[in-house]
Chains A and B, each alone.
Chain A
């Protein structure tokens, strides 16, 4: 069974631009979660999508947004990139919002 996949592996963007990160959940999972792992800040919850709807959002500005597609894959968009957005962005999936979350390998975003 394939795990959670994320693309790209690495992404380098200049400050002020937009970044798009993609995630495909484990087959059969309907929920997708996004987390940010920044140096010194630990793992922080960003967004939760289930059945195409945003269900919960962490303490991040509106320039962090996303969506979930009918096939349950998801995109995370980060607009107006700032240097402090440089981090590992982890996607996770679960069958329902209450079950354990399985993580992908992450996308390393570097803002220059």
Chain B
């Protein structure tokens, strides 16, 4: 079955420290991949996306992600975290072909990021 896994439920970092959030996917073919961020009680904001091509993608708010086909991973990184980055982060995937999964975003369980001053 197609799935997206975020191994870390909760991560705590100090402000100014670097950040890496992990994401692994399990699909028959390489899906389109996304990272979203959600502040408490709010909707999801798209941070970045990977469709094909360059495996290092840049997003908004200083985030980047690296696609590694050999590891079926799409990890999110930021060199220096700000207190305003505290939120929940979701990795998501969508199959880019027909079938029963067409149009359906599959989300990971989410990683809650806490930032200490």
Query: Interface stretch among B19-27, B78-86, B100-108?
Result: B100-108
Tell me if A33 and B44 are in contact (CB < 8 A).
Answer: no
Which chain B positions have C-beta within 8 A of A42?
Answer: 107, 109-110
Q: How far is the CA of A43 from the CA of B34 in the complex (A)?
A: 14
Interface residues of B in 24-47 (CB under 8 A from A): 32, 34, 36, 41-46
How close is A13's CB to chain B, nearest CB, in angstroms?
19
Tell me if B32 and A98 are in contact (CB < 8 A).
Answer: yes
Which chain B positions have C-beta within 8 A of A106?
Answer: 41-43
Q: A43-B90, A45-B105, A58-B104 are in contact. Are A105 and B49 (CB under 8 A)?
A: no
Q: A42-B110, A43-B90 are in contact. Are A103 and B103 (CB under 8 A)?
A: no
- Residue of A at shortest CB range from B34? A100
Instruction: Determine if B96 is an interface residue (Cβ-Cβ < 8 Å).
Output: yes
How close is A64's CB to chain B, nearest CB, in angstroms?
15
Q: A42-B110, A43-B90 are in contact. Are A101 and B105 (CB under 8 A)?
A: yes
Partner of B103, one of A43, A90, A97, A105: A97
Q: How far is the CA of A56 from the CA of B36 in the complex (A)?
A: 22
Considering only CB atoms and an 8 Å cut-off, how many residues of chain B contact the other chain?
A: 24
Tell me if A33 and B105 are in contact (CB < 8 A).
Answer: yes
Q: A98-B32, A100-B49 are in contact. Are A105 and B43 (CB under 8 A)?
A: yes
- Residue of B at shortest CB range from A102? B46
- Residue of B at shortest CB range from A106? B43
Q: How far is the CA of A31 from the CA of B18 in the complex (A)?
A: 37
Residues of A participating in the B interface, judged by any CB pair closer than 8 Å? 4, 31, 33, 35, 42-43, 45, 48, 50, 55-56, 58, 88, 90, 92, 97-98, 100-106, 108
Residues of B participating in the A interface, judged by any CB pair closer than 8 Å? 32, 34, 36, 41-46, 49, 90, 92, 94, 96, 100-107, 109-110
Not counting A43-B92, A90-B43, a sample of 9 additional A-B residue pairs whose C-beta atoms are within 8 angstroms of each other reads A43-B110, A48-B102, A48-B103, A55-B102, A56-B104, A100-B49, A101-B105, A103-B43, A105-B43
Please list the 4 inter-chain residue pairs (A to B) with the smallest Cβ-Cβ separation, ordered nearest first: A48-B103, A103-B44, A43-B107, A97-B103
